[in-house]
Every structure is written in structure tokens, then in C-alpha cells.
Amino acid sequence: MSALSILHRACLRLALLPLPLAPLRAPLRSSSLPRPLRLPRRTAMSSAASRMSHIAAAAASGESNQPAAASGLGQEDDDLSLGYRLPPKEIQDIVDAPPLPVLSFSPSKDKILFLKRRALPPLSDLAKPEEKLAGVRIDGHSNTRSRMSSYTGIGIHKLMDDGTLGPEKVVHGYPEGAKINFVTWSHDGRNLSFSVRVEEEDNKISKLRVWIADVESGEARPLFKSPDIYLNAIFDSFVWVDNSTLLVCTIPVSRGALPQKPSVPSGPKIQSNETKNVVQVRTFQDLLKDEYDADLFDYYATSQLMLVSLDGTVKPMGPPAVYTSIDPSPDDKYLMLSSIHRPYSYIVPCGRFPKRVELWTADGKFIRELCDLPLAEDIPIATSSVRKGKRSIYWRPDKPSTLYWVETQDGGDAKVEVSPRDIVYMENAEPINGEQPEILHKLDLRYGGISWCDESLALVYESWYKTRKTRTWVVAPDKKDVSPCILFDRSSEDVYSDPGSPMLRRTAMGTYVIAKVNKQDESTYLLLNGMGATPEGNVPFLDLFDINTGSKERIWESDKEKYFETVVALMSDKIDGDLPLDQLKILTSKESKTENTQYYLQIWPEKKQVQITNFPHPYPQLASLYKEMIRYQRKDGVQLTAKLYLPPGYDQSKDGPLPCLVWSYPGEFKSKDAAGQVRGSPNEFSGIGATSPLLWLARGFAILSGPTIPIVGEGDVEANDSYVEQLVTSAEAAVEEVVRRGVVHPDKIAVGGHSYGAFMTANLLAHAPHLFCCGIARSGAYNRTLTPFGFQNEDRTLWEATNTYVEMSPFMSANKIKRPILLIHGEQDNNSGTLTMQSDRFFNALKGHGVQSRLVILPFESHGYSARESIMHVLWESDRWLQKYCVNGTSKADSETAADGESKTLAASGGGAAPEGLSSDGFSSIPRSLL
């Protein structure tokens, strides 16, 4: 039977499956909070984790220190009307702890902001109305992106000469309880700008206003004197033009009333392709549906630009438009304004709408149009394909007002063979006497960015995903007699050969360029900051690199015996020109398996180390957990790694083998050698997020985190054509290793994952039932025929690789799943490919074959989960599933026999055993011996 016939039968069967009645789906919001420096979450102090025997006894009896309505594992758990539940207290205590602040350094590196955050938001925040328009989710009341996270306060600390922090100065003057966003320093570091919004009646959030704070006094005030000027933060928000002026995207005062949806449509919704254009797009979500949606998008997204001084002087700039970015030149004389405009599209998000880029003076005079790109509905789905025309238009950071950009020579289609493929151009803001753009460099791979230094040095990057090739070129931007040369030519998969990235310093103009180091000789030295991947794990480094000879001198390296340290930033960047080596100062982070991240100054020439933070341990109850990076081998010889965690106080001789949760996410590679390289460090601190599998350490589980599951396609072979086989052999190797060690019970191993990890989980339960007792799959896609124009890194279409799409889809193997599987999905998932319908239909397929399964749809949640109620319920559902089907479940051998008999009785074909070698729906089954 052909693959297309199989596909037709499967789709027909799917159409006949009953769909469950679902509640009305409310909109979701998407988070959009830039964080300068991520820090681990802090958790409240609590008692140490219980011994294994106590945990097992509590789990068996249903004791979890929860309200009565949320405890126990009885029949009431299957009543979906019981509402939100709470996980056991040992998990709650970790998740509910207040988070640590985010750090932000001043331009001169002499002050640090502590941006304070709240814990998990309530579900009521997510439940507020929103509009889904052109791929953007909008809070119409506040006229910003919906579900924005926020800061609750700003503290300012001086960084003293000895590296210690001075006393905190709290920014004050704004309304109590305000939500703060978009915190930015002025160029001179004397002022802060930020947005403020407050709670109003009916659980609504006010529109955003821009505030200014004096750094010395901490006193804050509104930027605009008029209370009727509000920030429009749908796209860009505001930017410092100079030390006393900001350019702000505001809601037009003359905007008028909200467009009203017509009670009777003006006509049918029509899309046409009578011109036979080839337009292939992935499964984008939240697209415009009709002209009313387009009007609504214009209403919310249109901004009036305002130039406003710190003294309150306001000047409108340009016409109202849908501005997506505002970018001052380094010398503050020009403004590059990007906007999108009609005609809009119903099949692609706003990032592909027609785009106009204009140049204006800083005082509001139009100069010229840089480009006006047409609607880009036809960007090929092949990885490394791009939009036609000028793209990546930026200011050179080492020049006052020079623009650079790139233009494709292959029509944007990665499948077209052409040389060169991309050309990088430069041009002055105001060309003189018809001056034409200058070619900086021609590239045969796809352009990947530039690190600028000065007129004699810049590094140009190019790469090609299909071959994983990446190159770094050395160019002299303003010296025509110097030819470009290749500095590095390597595989992007080969982490062992990664030389690191150049460190940047701040210029007098406030931009960032490659830092040159003076070693008192004639050579030019750069600082290369790398992760230092080795077969023993990452050992981050800082190299002094001679750009002329390629020689390296290691001037700093992480302590690889106990700690994992990384270089975060260059702190000695206050002067222009070369940086003397003996004046070098860097910011590093330092952590270990049991010590959470702290920040240090490293000061040359003595390399003195000064600790500047002293954050408490975020979850002291797990401080003594056991962590090991383990290594093992797949049957085909590929080297694999994983992080094995064991609970605090675990004693193998007394406690015996533990139940285990395996949590992972597959990755594609072009070579077995690259797939087998070690990534990560055995000394990294174990950060635990709100839905992390490591939470079950507090419940007495062993956790196998991130076991590598490489899907390798060498040469012209496509990796996904042997996806199932490689997936199963990787999982077999991981399970065999932890069982061999004696710390994991072979019949009590659960598997789980999120997104592509959920796809992995369902496939493992279908094709490797001998390995796992149950599974947890969150926000996954299970039927690849619903994503026919590519998924993940697969850029062939369903019609080009029909067998691959069908064989990779666990939906097509729902009849083979014999283990209990828990499906969880956000009701408003906006991720491309993982529509909520994927879990709905997969669950129906599982029910149709009598599989023990449960589907949990989280109201208002997107691809990731945000609200406290949702997260706690996810943890309760997951814990219940693990206790019932892993800790207290029957052995896999017993359940397999029962399940096999049951599946024959409940087969969708009407009952009866299938012929040998075929499943009940006619698909070829793969003998376990081949897996």
C-alpha cells in the first residue's frame, strides 16, 4: 500500500472520530520582557527533603499536605469538574518562592540596577481580553502586547572601587503597586526611563505612561506633562536619542473610536492563486481573518512618534504609521524608522508584511527612503531561505552615521545554487553627489551578521544550515587595498573547535565594538570568550588572540575541578582605543553543583577576584542533591550523555533503585562525531524552573535530564528518514545505563517532554513500550500531516517526504501505544505547528484504541504556561500520573500482556487479530529486534 493511500485512510479515520465538546476558548497573552541578565529563582527556606521511605509511604497513602479537595488518587481525580488542584507541598514550596532580581549595569559600569520581580502571575492576568492579529496578541485596554510580565520595583546600587555594592537607593515617586517595563539607561547614565501601568477597576490595566528617574536621587516623574499621552508598545516603545531627548511611540491623540465589526459581512472571504504562484507557508497562528481584523490591527499598532525633552518639550515627528523599530545613528544626528503597511496578508504574520525603511534627521526632517519591500508571502520553507531585497539594515557602530545591509542574490531561495549568495553593502546616511553603495563583502553562504571594530577590522559571519558549515571573515571596511581572508572555517556542530566570540567594549557614542587589547608590542589582540567544550564538559575561557598570526594565549579559564565559571561582560570599556592588558576588568559568574550563581569582578594584573553578589540558595531543601554527567554509547557507536540527578539523602544500599523520570528533546546532526560531543558542564548549578522535571527530586525520583537523542543524517541522507530507529536506540542506551548503575528500577521509568519533546514522548511509547511505564507529553504536535509544509528542522513538504511524515507521526501509531500517557496543552497555543487541536485529535485516537490516557487543556495558556493556577495544576496532574502509573503501577511485563489483549478487542478495524507483521490498521510494524 502506498504512503499516500495510508495517509488517505488515516485522515478518513480521523474525520470519523468524535471530537470532544470543549469550553469556549479565551485568548492568551504573550510575554515580552527583555531581561539584561538572567538569574536563578530564589525559594523560601524549608526543611530538608524527606528520606526515600517516607516519601514512598506518603505517595502510596495519598498524603500531600494539600486541601482535601485536591488530595488523594481516587476516582474523583477523573472528574474534570473539580477545578484547579495543588501539587504536594514539597513541590509548592519550590515553585512559590519569590524570584531573585534581574541585574542591569550602567553605561559606565559604576552602578547596578536590581530590577525586582513578582512570583507567578494569577490566572486572572491571563484571562483579560486580547486581540489576535497578524501573529501578535494585543491587550486592547492597555494598547500593548498581552500578558507582559513586569518589574515591581527598581533598586540602585553603586559599585564601589573595591567591588562591593553600596547601599540600595530605591526609585520612588510612581504609583504604589505599579507594573514597570522597558527600563533603559540614558547614554550618560544619569537618568532612567521606564514605563508604568497600574491596576484599574474591573481587573484592567491602565495604558502605559513613560516615566523618568534621576539616578542620584532615585526620584521619578512622568516624562510627558500631559496626562493624555500614552505609550504604544505593540512593537517598539521608546529610545534615547541623546542624553536629554527621547523618541517615543505614542497612541495618536486623534485616533478615534475602535472599529466596529460589521453585523453583516460585505462579501465572502476570498483567496486566489490563479497566477499559479508557489506559496508554501508553515502553520502560522493568530493571522488576520478579514478586513475588520486588518482595521483593528491598524487601530492598535499605529503610532505617532514624539520627540520629547526631559524638560517636557514635545514635538510630533512624521505621520502616524505602524512603526516597528526606531533606531538613532551613533552620532545622534539621524533616525532610521521602520514601518509596515498595506496590503496585508491572511496567510503570514506581520513580520512578512510590506516594510518601509526611512531616514530622518533627529529633529524630525525627512531625508530619504532606504527601501520599500513588498509583501513576502512566498519565502521558501527551506532552512536558510530569506526575504528578497534589503535586509538587516543597521548603523555601523564604529562610525557616526554609516549604514550597512545585505541583499540576497538567490532570490531568497536556499535551494538555488548561485555565487555569491549574499552581498553586504555600506553607505553614508546622506550620500554625496550620487555616491553609490559600496560593497563590503560577497558571501557564498548565508549572511550571519558582523562584529565591527574600526576602519581596519570587522568580522563577517556566514553559515549554511544544510551542511552546518560556518565561516568567519576578516575584512578591513575602509581599506580597499586589503583583501578579505578567512579567519575560521568550521562546522557549527563541532563545539570542540569553537574558538569563541570577540568581546565588545562601549564607545564614546554609546555603541559597542570589538575590544582591541594592547600588550605593548606591535600585534593586534582580541579577547575571545568561549564555552570551551571538551570531552569532560565545558571549561569556559578567555583567550588573547593575535588577529594577524592566529596565535592564542589563555589569560583566564574556569576552575574545572569544582566550579563552572563564565565571562559575562567586559567592565573596563570606559575609554576609546586599545585597552591595556594590565587594566583589564571582567564580570564573571560562578557556580557549582550545590552552590547557586554569584557574580564576581576579575581585575588584572593580579587577577584579583571580588564577589559582588551573595544570593541565598534558591531551594535549600535540595541543596544536597546528587548530580552527575554520565556517558554511554548507542548501538551504532554514537557517544551519548545525560545528567543524572538523585534526591538528597539517597543511599543506594538502603533505598534501592528509584522510580525515574526521563525528560529530553531530540536534536538533528549531520555527523555522528558531532552528535557525540559533550555539551554542558558537570559543575553547573541545577536551576529548577516552575515546571522543571527536577521538581520530582523532592518526591524521591531519580531524574535523567536531557539525555542526548541525536537524529543523524550524514552526507545527503536526511536525518528524519530514520527518526524512529535512532530515537528508540538512543532511549534504549539511556535506560540500559541507569538500570546498570542500580539506581533506577527497570519497571518504574517514565518519559516526558515539552513541544518537540512531547512528540518524542509519544513516539517512544508507541515504538519502545519495553522501556517506559508511562509518559507525560506537554504542548506537542502528533500528526505531521497537519504541518504539511515542514516542521522543526524538516524542510521537505509532506508531498516530497510522505513516508517520513507518516512514519514519524505518533498519531499514525496510536494503536501501538500500550502505556498510559498524559497529554497537557495550552488552550491558546500560538506556536507554529503545535495547535491545541493536535492534542485533541491525538487523545481521540488514543481513546479509539482503548489506551489509558488523559487530556488536560489549560484555559488561557499558550505554548508555555504562565499562571500560578495553571502551573500548579500541571504539577498536580504530572505528580498524580507518576505516582499512579510509575511508583504504584503494575510491572511493564504484566501491563503489556493485558494491553495487548485489550488492543485486539478494541481494534478500530472491528476486532480480531491483525495478520503477523501488520498492525490492526494495516501499517507495517517494526519488530522490536530491529529497534
Cell 507518516 maps to which residue?
A: 806
For residue 622, what is its C-alpha cell? Answer: 535540595
Q: Are 763 and 740 in contact (CB under 8 A)?
A: no
Residue 909 C-alpha cell reads as 478495524
- Contacts of residue 831, Cβ cutoff 8 Å, sequence gap at least 6: 285, 755, 779, 862, 863
* Residue 179 contacts residue 150 (beta carbons within 8 Å): yes
Element (H, E) at 561: none
DSSP 119: S
Indicate the burial class of 594 (C-beta count within 10 angstroms; 0-12, 13-18, 19 or more): middle
Alpha carbons 518 and 810: distance in angstroms, whole number: 59
420 prior amide bond cis, ω within 30: yes
* DSSP states of 37-73: S--PBP----PPPPPHHHHHHHHHHT--S--GGG---
Tell me how far apart the alpha carbons of residues 219 and 169 are, in angstroms, rounded to a whole number.
10
The angle subtended at Cα 21 by Cα 17 and Cα 25, nearest 5°, is 125
Q: Could you tell me the sign of the dihedral formed by the alpha carbons of 460, 477, 482, 444, in that order?
A: positive
Is 463 one of the catalytic residues? no
Q: Among the options 755, 779, 809, 813, which is catalytic?
A: 755
C-alpha span between 17 and 840 (Å, rounded): 11
Active-site entry in 293, 829, 879, 921: 829
Q: Which one-letter DSSP state was computed for residue 301?
A: H
Query: Is 451 a catalytic site residue?
Result: no
DSSP at 233:
B
Q: Are 445 and 437 in contact (CB under 8 A)?
A: no
384 half-sphere exposure, CB direction, 13 A CA radius: 21
In Å, how far from its chain's centre is CA 597? 21
What nine digits make up the cell of 666? Answer: 531530540
Name the β-bridge partners of 359: 336, 368
The secondary structure element, H or E, covering residue 104 is: strand 102-105
- Report yes or no: 52 and 650 within 8 Å, Cβ to Cβ: yes
Which is the catalytic residue, given 754, 863, 873, 879?
A: 863
Residue 647's nearest CA partner among 631, 623, 682 is 623
CB 329 within 8 A of CB 386: no
Contacts of 490 (CB under 8 A, 6+ apart): 469, 470, 471, 497, 498
DSSP class of residue 543? E
The C-alpha cell at 470 is: 560556518
**Which region, left, alpha or beta, applies to residue 241 given φ > 0 means left and ψ of -120 to 50 means alpha?**
alpha
> Would you say 896 and 863 are in contact if contact means Cβ atoms under 8 Å apart?
no
755 a catalytic residue: yes
Neighbour count for residue 798 (Cβ, 10 Å) = 21
Q: Which residue has the cell 531561505?
A: 385
Q: Which residues 6+ apart lie within 8 Å of 893 measured at CB? A: 747
Contact between residue 330 and residue 116 where contact means Cβ atoms under 8 Å apart:
no
Query: Dihedral of CA 139/140/141/145: which sign?
Result: positive
Cell of 360: 530622518
Alpha-carbon distance values, 611 to 43, 116, 133 (Å): 22, 21, 47
Give yes or no for a contact between 3 and 781, defined as CB atoms under 8 angstroms apart. no
Backbone angles phi, psi at 855, to 5 degrees: -115, 125
Question: Are 849 and 907 a contacting pair, CB within 8 Å?
Answer: yes
Query: Which residues are designated catalytic?
Result: 755, 829, 863
